[in-house]
Amino acid sequence: MSGTLYVVATPLGNLGDLSPRAADTLKRVAVVVAEDTRHSKPLLHHAGSKADLVSFHAHSSERALERILRILSEGRDVALITDAGTPAISDPGVDLVAAARERGVPIVTIPGPTAVAASLAVSGIPGDRYLFLGFLPRKGSDRRRLLLTAAASEWTVVIFEAPTRLTQLLADLIEVCGPDREAAVSRELTKVFEETRAGTLQELSEHYADAPVRGEVTVVLSGTGEQRVEERPPDAGERARALLAEGLSRKDVADRLAEETGISRNMAYRLVNEL
């Protein structure tokens, strides 16, 4: 009979936020799987847990994952925690949860702190509907695509960022959203130097250019408040006939069709040649 995998939320910083149920779970399980075992040792000591600590992080091998699954298959209970907050959200623990679910392992959530909800609650920006983007890629087309997604979102957007990259993120958001979009930056939530600063992107950018931050950072960006209406792409056949009537070559028509309708170029060529 398989053991149970408990997904346990832990404090963002203040150990007083560890729930009694979470503490009891950490004491009862045989093994605690942590992103950084050195970081998690004080938490287990605080909870009075004598469970074995096993490391599982973004660079762990398939062998490490199989080891944890084997522990569960032996009937021992396992608690999954992350460095701070709720596991498996912008966290490698999602791979363990998915693999355990595929094996039919019972999975139980022990809810608690999460930086997403905490930052939304103190931002003053509506959180009834929001888009969570986690950590953006550091560069490249994927970063640009997500920045544009954030800029166009009707709803509030929540982004995680490393403190050393906050000023670059704010600059990039100004580029795609404009300087006057409202936002809030939270750092060190629940810790001694907790701070949430709200204002326009321009105001926040100017402030943090002169006041480098430390600790975990969450950016809450206000939405546009405007519903996006997706335009229906033109009918490929009708558009092809119209372009041919304009005197374009079949090759040029096929290229235009692919660009305007989103169909593949091969499909566009076949469609044009069939007319």
Compute the distance between CA of residue 68 and CA of residue 54 in angstroms, rounded to an integer.
8
Does the pLDDT at position 110 exceed 60?
Answer: yes
pLDDT in tens, 140-197: 989 999 999 999 999 999 999 999 999 999 999 999 999 999 999 999 999 999 999 9
Which tokens go with 35?
């992103």
- The mean per-residue pLDDT over the stretch 72-79 comes to 98
**Which residues have a Cβ under 8 Å from the Cβ of 13 and sit 6 or more positions away?**
84, 188, 189, 190, 191, 194
Compute the distance between CA of residue 136 and CA of residue 142 in angstroms, rounded to an integer.
8
Name the band, by pLDDT with cuts 50, 70 and 90, for residue 71.
very high
What are the E-state strand segments in 63-189? Answer: 78-80, 107-110, 130-135, 156-161, 182-187
Does the pLDDT at position 32 exceed 90?
Answer: yes
Which has the closest alpha carbon to 160: 125, 186, 197, 198?
A: 186
Phi, psi of 79 (to 5 degrees): -110, 130
**Average pLDDT of every residue of the chain:** 93
pLDDT in tens, 203-224: 999 999 998 898 889 999 999 9
- The mean per-residue pLDDT over the stretch 4-10 comes to 98
Name the band, by pLDDT with cuts 50, 70 and 90, for residue 233.
low
Neighbours of 79 (CB within 10 A): 27
Amino acid at 226: E
The most distant pair of C-alpha atoms in the chain lies apart, rounded to whole Å, by: 80
CATH architecture assignment, domain 116-221: 2-Layer Sandwich (3.30)
Which tokens go with 167?
């000023």
CB 93, CB 107: distance < 8 Å: no
CB 7, CB 26: distance < 8 Å: no
Name the band, by pLDDT with cuts 50, 70 and 90, for residue 229.
low
Does the pLDDT at position 231 exceed 80?
Answer: no
Compute the distance between CA of residue 70 and CA of residue 54 in angstroms, rounded to an integer.
13
Q: Where are the domains of the chain?
A: 5-113, 116-221, 236-274
pLDDT of residue 89: 92
Name the band, by pLDDT with cuts 50, 70 and 90, for residue 230.
low
CATH architecture assignment, domain 5-113: 3-Layer(aba) Sandwich (3.40)
